[in-house]
Structure formats: C-alpha cells, structure tokens
A and B are shown apart, each in its own frame.
Chain A
Amino acid sequence: MKKQFLLGVVLLLVICLLGVASAQEVTLKVWLMKQAEVELIKAQEEALAEFQKLYPDINVEFTVFPYNEYRDKLLIAAAAGNPPDVSVIDQIWNPEFAAAGFVIPLDDYVTQSPNVKKENYFSGAWESAVFQEKLYGIPFDVGVWALNYYNKDIFRNAGLDPEKPPVTWDEFYEMGSKMTSEQQWGTALYVGSGDAVQCIVDALIFSNGGSVLNQDFRKCTLDQPPAIEALKYFKKLQSINPSGEVARTEEDSFQLFTAGKIGMFWYGEWGQDTINARAPEMDWALANFPRPAEGKSIGTFGGWNMVIYQQATQKDAAWKFIEFWTSKEINEKVSSLTPANIEAAQAFLNQKRKFPEVVFQQLSTALYRPIFPRYPDLAEIQRNATTNILLDQKSVEEALKDATKEIDALLDEYYANH
C-alpha cells in the first residue's frame, strides 16, 4: 500500500516535471538558403545538435529554400503575418525589410551581448544592416565583387610575367590589349539582368574615391567626376573584350574564362570551386581588383545578414540562435560563402580558398551597396545608364547626369512619403 502510494507520488512528480518542461520548450522557426554541398548540410546538422545541447528548451526547426524562390517566400510569409522567427536575408533586402517593419532593430540585444560586437565582423557587412541609424541585422556571410582572376598561360603567351598581375587600371588595360586577338580577349565584361554588373561598376567608382549616394543616402552622386571617370574606364575596356557584353551575364563571362578565351575575369572569391570543377587543368591565379593610379582597390560587398522578424513569437530565443550561428566556431563551419565573422573568415579562407590573403585583404576594405529600401529600382536606373554607355546611346556624362536625376527623383519620392 505504502509502496503504491510512493509510486503514485513519484509518477505525479514526473508528470508535473514533464509538464513544466514541455511548457517551457519553445519552437524556433529558422529559414535559410538551400545548400547543395553534402558536407555543409552535415556541418549544419552538427552545429544544430550543439545548439540544442546548449539550449535544450529551444527546439529549432529549419526550412531551406533555393535562392530563386527565397525572396518571394519570405515576402509572402512576412506580408501574410506568418514569417519565421529568424532568417538570413540578402544585404540589399535589409533596408527594405527594415522600412516595411518586417524585422526589428537589434541594437539593444547587441549592447547586452557578450559575443556579438561590431568589431568581430567585416565593417562593410555590418554597415549594410544599418538603416536610419538602427541596426537591423547581424552579418552571417559575405563575398566581395570583385577579384581579378587571371589565366597564367594566356599571360605567358602574350609575353607577360604571370607573377606580375596588373595592379592599376592602366596596367589592366595594357595587359588586356596584349592578350586581345581575333580569338582571345583580355577580359569579358557583362551586364545581363542581375545585380553583378552594379557591384562591378560600384567597385570601380569606390576605388576611384566616389560613391553612388551621398553620406546620408538622400542624394545621388553619380554625376561627380569619380563616377564619370570610372565609367569612362569601364567603357574603355570594351575594346579588349568580345562584343555582346550587354546581353552577356556573369555566368557567360565565367564560361569564357574557364574555356580559356579570356585572360582576366572579375568575379567574387566563391568562384574558385567552379573553376576547379570546370577547368581542372587551368593554371590560374588571383589578384586584387585593379585600382586607379592614385586610388585604392575597393570591392563591393555581397552577402547575407541574419534578422529577427517583428512577428516572431520567440525573439529572445531567436537572438540566442543568431549569437550562436554567427560566433567564430560555428560561423566558420556552417557557411558556404566566406563567414562574416572576421576570425571565422580567416580560418575559412585558409582552409578552403586559394590566395587567402588576397581575398581577405579585398574583403577588409570592401564597401556595401547604397542603403535604400527601393534598392532594386535604383540599381535598375544604374544598369540602364551602364547599358546606354556601352551601346553608345549616350555619352558617359549625359548618361550619368540622367541617371542622377532619375535616382534623385526616386529618393525624393520615397522620402516624401516615409
């Protein structure tokens, strides 16, 4: 009788404890990008298990989407009031998501956090998440447009020293000219329909000391001399590249490079794996993005930030997850691009990339694209200007003046209503 009573009490206690435990347990919905690499998927699973060990009461639920569908899914879910708690978003969506009120400022979390500090991350990536003086995202991974990939055999055939890649704009153009013949070219420009061309053009402008928007992002500065010179130089490169650059995408240019048709190619550090897969025999190397004689080599940042949604039910758990996922040890293992955490990036580059110092140096000085909630519209105006210039429809000055007018009108219209 007594035994039974005791057993009953113990059972009751167990049930109570279980009840308490399950009541505290929260489910955290996390959306990420689909990764193709088996190793990476495994690393993510392992990292998740580690997180679960640290926080047994937080139950993380991953959902992954391929890049092409990701933005649509997020916008639908956020607009329908059913977003995840945490997700990664492209740097250039961060101002848009912030302005729409989809994601929350993280400044208070950062002040209290022992691990997440501004100086731990590439500064250009951190700044990309700042909108109207508040921080709306923590950088997760980064990439830089662009580095100068070059084919050493083509250098040798043109009588150039493959250990001395071009440093300045003039050197790049001159070496490119030497490689250019009927069947082979110095480089292959691209415009296409994506944002890649914008990153390249912006990098040229940044390297020349210019910018796209002024400091508070309220006025366009494309009609200033640095931008004009940069685009004049870009146009000059037409003569050392196969025709058709306006319709060509970065992928097409990449194929020309791996096929050995062009000597040099501007692309981000993540392209290394693809070169090794498509052209395993090629003797290639990597150099910094060329700079003007008096300028500094500055690339444009790409990459992804982690955000917490306004409608998230588990904001504190979400922050714990971000702290964990962007920490040095984890960030290094779970990202396919270069990690945004600087220490993690160094380890990652040394392990997975050739020419890690070149890449690291380029990342350290890279700048973010203009902060504006309607960035895609702005980028399209810029791309149209670039197209007009390449097709000789307008002079460089004229095209940039028109683009500046259009972008200013866009900015004025937006800020008049917001």
Chain B
Amino acid sequence: MIKRQKTGKIITYLFALLLAIFVCFPLIVMISMSLKAPDEQFTYPPHLIPQHPTLNNYFQVFGQGSMFAKYFSNSLLVASVSTLIVLGVAIFSSYGYARMNFPGKNFLFILLLLSQLFPLAAIIVPLYRIMGNLKLIDTYLSLIISYLAFSVPVGVWLLRSFFLGVPQELEEAALIDGCTRFQAFWKIVIPLVRPGMGATAAYVFFLTWQEFMFALTFINSESKRTLPVGIFDFVGQYETNWGNLMAASILVCIPVFVIFFFIQKQLVAGLTEGAVKG
C-alpha cells in the first residue's frame, strides 16, 4: 500500500518535471540565444550553454538607434494607467452587482459579459473610426480607452466573485455598530477583497501589457509605440536580429514575472473564486 503510494508520487513528480521542461524549454532557448554573439547562434550541433557568453545583445537593445527603452516606458504607462482606471471602476461596479438589488441587474450583468464575446478584429474598425473622429489616433488615450472597453468587464466579473465571498453579516454588523453603508464598504469589505484586487490588477496588467492589435492600429509615431509592436524593430524584411530580439523578449517578460511572483496565489484563487457560487 505504502509502496503503491510511493510509485504514484514518483510518477506524479516525473510528469510534473516533464511538463516543467516542456514549458520552460522555449524560455531557456530564449535566454541562451540572448547571450550568444551572431556567430554562435546557429551552429551545428546547437548548444544550449553559450561558449562565449556576451551581454552585447542587451547593450544593443538599449543602444544608439534603438527605441526599446521608450517602448518599454510607453507600455508601462499605458498598462499602469489602464489597470488603475479598471480597478477604480470595477471596485464600485462589482460591489453593486454583488450586493445591491436594482431593476435589470441580471440583464445588465449579462450585457457586460456579452461585450467579451466580440472578437477584437470585429470591433477594431468601428473603434478606429471613432478614434479618428475624436482625433485620438496616435495618442496614448486611444489605447487606454480601448483597453478599458475590454478589461473593465473582466475586472467587474472577477471582483464580483470576491465580494460574494465576503459574508454579508460582516457588513450588517458594521452597520449596526454605526457605520454608514460607504464606511462599511470602505473599511470592512475592501480590506477583505484586497487579494481579489491584486488578482484583477495583475490580470488587467498582463492583458494590456501584451496587447498587439490596437497598439498596431492606433499608434503611428515611433515615439508612442508600445512593446508588442515595437519589438518587431528587430525583425527585418529579409533577416532577423535574433540575439537582440531574444534579449528584448526576455526584458519584456521581466515585469510580468515580477508581478506574477508576488501575486500568483491570489491570481489562481481569483480565477477560480466564485466558480461554484452563482
């Protein structure tokens, strides 16, 4: 019996290890390539560990003629502002959907989720025209507004399940003790859904950090491009600067890794929270 458990465990670990290798391999190749000079990138047989490791690719990514640093700060700006606004809107809206009763509540909630059904490709043309009429083409605002359009519903939906997870009795107790409705919300409920807010913020940040299509369509000036669009600078018509491209890709991943590292527990909880509640 014990033996069987042990073999079961070994098999589990073996599969976990295989899966980890499978998932990490591209990343490892990326790192390896980013540390190689061009004459080492495509040797036969290929070797994973660079024989003459160099940081040149990283220097070149930030070097003269490269806009990478600017793209990076643009992405950071657009993603952070979008995340903050989504959070601000979603806290109140999702609380309303979780706690309050008003006519048409279910209908409106479904409407909100319905907006998620449209493929981006279908709404990009009307959005482009709207942005054009508003003279917003080639501005950060055009990106932030369109990101809000598809990330606010997700934020509301995610946070709502966290609010549902807070026992209503807590708020009632606070009300009895003399809190106003808003105080109960702000002082009692919000601190309890903080993990949910973290998860929502991270989710929205990831979504906007990697968004490509709007960023490609709405932005023209080089100085306003975001990373997913800008990284194509390293891909030429005929040839690709693989070393620089891989170094840039690693750098793009870093903020995502950092955020994920801090909030992975909440994120996993956030995505399954409410899965079994109505």
Is A36 a contact partner of B233 (Cβ separation < 8 A)?
A: yes
- Tell me the nearest residue of chain B to A281, going by C-beta: B39
The reply to whether B235 and A66 form a contact with Cβ atoms under 8 Å apart is yes
Do A82 and B132 form a contact, CB below 8 Å, given A63-B221, A67-B235? yes
Residues of chain B with a CB closer than 8 A to A291's CB:
none
Q: Are A268 and B238 also in contact (CB < 8 A) when A63-B221, A69-B216, A72-B216 are?
A: yes
A259 to B39: give the CA distance in the assembly, Å. Answer: 9
Contacts of A68 in B (CB 8 A): 232, 235
- Answer yes or no: A280 CB below 8 A from chain B CBs: yes
| Stretch touching chain A among B41-49, B80-88, B200-208 | B41-49
Neighbouring A residues of B132 by C-beta, 8 Å: 80, 82
Q: Is the beta-carbon distance between B221 and A270 smaller than 8 angstroms?
A: no
A33-B237 CB under 8 A given contacts A76-B128, A80-B132: yes
Please name all residues of chain A whose beta carbon is closer than 8 Å to the beta carbon of B236 when the two chains form the complex. Answer: 36, 66-67
- List residues of chain A with CB within 8 A of the CB of B39: 277-281
Query: B63 contacts which chain A residues (CB < 8 A)?
Result: 38
- Give the residue name and chain of the A residue nearest to B45 (CB): A259
Chain B stretch 187-230: residues in CB contact (< 8 A) with chain A = 216-217, 220-222, 229
Distance to closest chain B CB from A111 (angstroms): 32
Q: Whole-angstrom distance from the CB of B245 to the nearest CB of chain A?
A: 11
Instruction: Find chain B residues with CB under 8 A from A66 CB.
Output: 232-236
Taking the closest CB of chain A, its distance from the CB of B162, in whole angstroms, is 39
With a cutoff of 8 Å between Cβ atoms, the chain B residues found around residue A69 in the complex are 216, 229, 232
Q: A245-264 interface mask toward B, CB cutoff 8 Å, 1 = contact, 0 = none?
A: 00000110001001111000
Bound CA span A77–B234, Å: 23
Chain A residue nearest to B38 in the complex (CB)? A277
B217 CB to nearest chain A CB (Å) = 6
Give the size category of A's interface with B.
Answer: 35 or more
Residues of A within 8 A of B104 (CB): none
A274–B241 Cα distance when bound, in Å, is 9
In the complex, whether A116 has a CB less than 8 A from a CB of chain B is no
- Whether A379 is near chain B, meaning CB under 8 Å from some CB there, is no
> Is A36 a contact partner of B229 (Cβ separation < 8 A)?
no
Residue A133 at the chain B interface, CB threshold 8 Å: no
Determine how close the nearest CB of chain A comes to the CB of B241; give it in whole angstroms.
6
- Produce 1/0 per residue, A221-255, CB < 8 A to B: 00000000000000000000000000000110001
Report the minimal beta-carbon distance from A249 to chain B, rounded to whole angstroms: 11
Q: Which residues of A contact B234 (CB under 8 A)?
A: 36, 66
B128 surroundings in chain A (CB, below 8 A):
76, 80
Q: Which A residues are in CB contact (< 8 Å) with B217?
A: 76
A34 to B64 alpha-carbon distance, docked (Å): 14
Query: B239 contacts which of A64, A251, A281 (Cβ < 8 Å)?
Result: A251
The answer to whether A270 and B238 touch (CB under 8 A), given A72-B216, A259-B43, A279-B39, is yes
Interface check B240, CB cutoff 8 A = yes
B50 to chain A, nearest CB (A): 14
Task: Tell whether A73 pairs with B233 under 8 Å between CB atoms, given A36-B241, A38-B65, A80-B128.
Answer: no
Chain A CB within 8 A of B137 CB: yes
Q: Is the CB of B241 within 8 A of A63?
A: no
Q: Is A271 an interface residue (CB 8 A)?
A: yes
Given A38-B65, A68-B232: A73 in contact with B220 (beta carbons within 8 A): yes
Q: Beyond A68-B235, A69-B229, is A278–B65 a contact (Cβ under 8 Å)?
A: no
Q: Min CB distance, B227 to chain A, in Å?
A: 13
| Cα A244 to Cα B49 with chains together (Å) | 27
* CB closest residue in chain B, given A34: B233
User: Do A73 and B232 have beta carbons less than 8 Å apart?
Assistant: no
A279 to B41, CA, bound (A): 10
A37 in contact with B65 given A63-B221, A67-B237 (CB within 8 Å): yes
8 contacts between A and B (CB under 8 A): A36-B234, A66-B233, A66-B236, A67-B232, A69-B229, A76-B128, A76-B217, A277-B39
Known: A143-B238, A250-B238. 7 other contacts (CB 8 A): A36-B236, A72-B216, A76-B128, A76-B217, A270-B238, A277-B38, A278-B38
